[in-house]
A and B are shown apart, each in its own frame.
Chain A
């Protein structure tokens, strides 16, 4: 199974600043046809996870451009620019390269 390691596990950010979360996979998430199946989700308090970004950097429709994903191979980063109060929650990275899907431990973002 692909092991996903997120850092940090918690993050306190001042509104307006930038938050950065790292996610490393135990093997490359690049498949044979050139797709890299790394996704980011946010789980707001009391809610289910919501997809923010898929294939490393593709934002889901409706997600503010303050959220950006980058990386390749085994190293990935989620950046939240100009952090707002509504961004509180737990951010999860996920490998969708193969089954089983595997997730990072989650990063709790507090404002």
Chain B
């Protein structure tokens, strides 16, 4: 069974940094593209970033470009999201999502980031 387990969320002051991790199991991680999607409190879903299976290609939402960095370690079956210069509007639950053509088929349980 596919599992995606996020960690690393918490309370951080504006301007601070956090690194989120997503540990994957139950599938061949090294051949899967991965995404981060966030959900502001009580709001809808917003795509944040994507990374290719080999880590060579990354994409970001305009709102996080230059502040967030997605990376992965295929040896550890883990994808990361390094978040710098955090702002109040980055407060959200962050989900790790496995890519399949045109959609995301498995989502982690999410980790809450609060910037205050």
Contacts and interface: CB of A to CB of B under 8 A. Distances in A.
Interface in B13-60: 35, 37, 44-47, 50, 59
B77 to A, nearest CB: 19
Nearest to B99: A96
A105 B4 CA distance: 25
Interface stretch (B66-74, B80-88, B103-111): B103-111
A47 B104 CA distance: 16
Contacts of A99: 47, 50, 59
Q: Is the interface of A mostly helix, strand, loop or mixed?
A: loop
A74 to B, nearest CB: 16
Q: What bracket does the count of chain A residues touching chain B fall in?
A: 20 to 34
A76 interface: no
Interface residues of B, number: 21
Contacts of B47: 99-103
Contacts of A60: 105
B110 A92 contact: no
Interface stretch (A10-18, A19-27, A50-58, A79-87): A50-58
B61 interface: yes
Interface string A37-53: 10100000001111100
Contacts of A48: 95, 107-110
A51 B105 contact: yes
B76 interface: no
Nearest to A38: B102
A109 interface: no
B101 interface: yes
Interface string A68-111: 00000000000000000000000010101101111111100000
15 contacts: A37-B101, A39-B102, A39-B103, A39-B104, A48-B108, A48-B110, A51-B106, A54-B103, A55-B102, A55-B103, A92-B44, A94-B103, A99-B59, A100-B61, A105-B44
Interface of B: 35, 37, 44-47, 50, 59, 61, 95, 100-110
